[in-house]
Amino acid sequence: MRAVMAEQQVDVLLLSVGADMPYFCGYEAMALPRLTMLVVPRDGDARLIVPRLEAPRVEERPGVFTVVAWGETEDPIALARSFIGSASVVAVGDRTWAGFLVDLVKLLPGVEFRRASEVTSPLRSVKDAAEVESLRAAAAAADRVAVDLRSGNIELVGRTEAEVSAELGRRLLAEGHQRVNFAIVAAGENAASPHHEAGERVIKPGEIVLCDIGGTMMDANGVGYCSDITRCVHLGEPPADLVEAYDVLFEAQAAQVEAAVVGQPCQEVDRVGRGMIAEAGYGDNFIHRTGHGIGTEAHEDPYIVEGNTQELRPGHAFSIEPGIYLPGKWGLRLEDIVVAAPDGPDNLTTTDHHLAVLDA
Ligand code: ZN
Ligand code: ZN
Ligand code: ZN
């Protein structure tokens, strides 16, 4: 991290809540109003500022950081300020509460503030072999739930989206995840809303059910890696227009996975599928980017989106999840997690990609 700080001429890095701090020092700040902050000067000792009552949670890492606990009546921002010294460029964790940043800006006039992701993201987005295996294990666990869904082992008709969502969450945990990050269940016209929140709507025969699920699974070192998969099932024979659209989506998604090779600019992967979907007449119905990076966070760099000219490197892990959405009618999405590897795209998601047609 210090090498990248030097390259980018960042004098001090400040990390707080979010995925950066645990990735680099093994401790995750509680997302609470009291300040936790890792202060990393480029050429000095790192300090982990923590509320005194949370200090017992910290596993000490001599040589990595020194713990500085602050009491209830102390000013943690002043403490952070004292360790920043005469820095002229300070990078702040992207998820740090805005209130703390506002206070720091006041105390450090003339200092240039940047996003810490400029330093952390090049490091976090490229996964080493062990991280890829952790992602593979999480993907396999999510796959097992998706296989159950597709084979009709999960009751759908007559239940509410919320009930099915809760069951998918329980199954993610039973398959080895420690945390459920989301379990989108969207039936019929609700599937046209990509981030639909599962609700009290009862699932009926003759409908599409879109399920997008993911969780966090701890590896042997206690570091959590995320899964994310989307599959659609149809309850009874699907209408012709839906089948036609699904075929387009299926081909586009497969072409995008194939295009996710080392050296390929992220935006090209997006274009490959978007072009096919547009050519089939659904251009206006694919309303989001193709995908997001995935690792210790469910959504991180690199983003597979128009405008991202970054080239895929070995170890980049990301979703490929195009969708076609017809407001008021139905929606379709198909999502895999793929790693760019020297010998071609490594698709961690193995569940059958066809539309599952279940008895209704
Ligand atoms: Zn999403
Ligand atoms: Zn997803
Ligand atoms: Zn996703």
Which residue ranges make up each domain of the chain?
Answer: 2-123, 126-358
Spatial CA neighbour of 274 closest among 283, 265, 264: 283
Cα of 9 vs centre of ligand 3, distance in Å, is: 33
Which pLDDT score, from 0 to 100, does residue 242 have?
Answer: 98
Q: For residue range 38-65, what is the model confidence (pLDDT) as tens digits?
A: 999 999 999 999 999 999 999 988 889 9
Closest ligand to residue 211's CA: 2
Cα(89)–Cα(94) distance, rounded to whole angstroms? 15
Q: Is the whole-model pTM more than 0.75? A: yes
Cα of 117 vs centre of ligand 2, distance in Å, is: 22
Contact indicator for 301, 289 with CB cutoff of 8 Å? no
pLDDT at 220 exceeding the cut of 90: no
Cα(215)–Cα(168) distance, rounded to whole angstroms? 11
Closest ligand to residue 294's CA: 3
Cα of 195 vs centre of ligand 2, distance in Å, is: 9
Answer whether CATH 3.90.230.10 is correct for domain 126-358: yes
Closest ligand to residue 229's CA: 2
Which DSSP helix (H) or strand (E) runs through 273? helix 266-279
Cα of 197 vs centre of ligand 2, distance in Å, is: 13
Q: For residue range 276-316, what is the model confidence (pLDDT) as tens digits?
A: 999 999 999 999 999 999 999 999 999 999 999 999 999 99
Which pLDDT score, from 0 to 100, does residue 221 have?
Answer: 82
Which pLDDT score, from 0 to 100, does residue 61 have?
Answer: 87
Which pLDDT score, from 0 to 100, does residue 60 have?
Answer: 87
Closest ligand to residue 320's CA: 3
Cα of 319 vs centre of ligand 3, distance in Å, is: 6
φ, ψ (nearest 5 deg) of residue 53: -70, -15
Which pLDDT score, from 0 to 100, does residue 240 have?
Answer: 97
Closest ligand to residue 291's CA: 3
Cα of 28 vs centre of ligand 1, distance in Å, is: 24
Which pLDDT score, from 0 to 100, does residue 283 have?
Answer: 97
Query: What mean pLDDT is predicted for residues 162-168?
Result: 98
Cα of 337 vs centre of ligand 1, distance in Å, is: 13
Name residues with Cβ closer than 5 Å to ligand 2, which is an ion.
212, 228, 230, 335
Cα of 30 vs centre of ligand 2, distance in Å, is: 25
Cα of 61 vs centre of ligand 1, distance in Å, is: 36
Cα of 126 vs centre of ligand 2, distance in Å, is: 20
Cα of 45 vs centre of ligand 2, distance in Å, is: 39
Supply 328's token pair: 């008021």
CA-to-CA dists, residue 306 to 124, 185, 266, 290, 302, angstroms? 22, 28, 8, 9, 12
Contact indicator for 317, 339 with CB cutoff of 8 Å? yes
Cα of 183 vs centre of ligand 1, distance in Å, is: 11
Closest ligand to residue 297's CA: 3
Cα of 181 vs centre of ligand 1, distance in Å, is: 11
Cα of 194 vs centre of ligand 1, distance in Å, is: 7
Query: What mean pLDDT is predicted for residues 97-103?
Result: 97
Closest ligand to residue 298's CA: 3
Stated length of the chain: 360
Cα of 45 vs centre of ligand 3, distance in Å, is: 37
Cα(104)–Cα(269) distance, rounded to whole angstroms? 40
Query: Domain 2-123 is classified in which CATH homologous superfamily?
Result: Creatinase/prolidase N-terminal domain (3.40.350.10)
Spatial CA neighbour of 229 closest among 181, 161, 166: 181
Spatial CA neighbour of 226 closest among 165, 339, 137, 143: 137
Cα(13)–Cα(93) distance, rounded to whole angstroms? 8
Cα(295)–Cα(19) distance, rounded to whole angstroms? 10
CB atoms under 10 Å from CB of 67, counted, come to 14
Closest ligand to residue 146's CA: 2
pLDDT band (50, 70, 90) for residue 348: very high
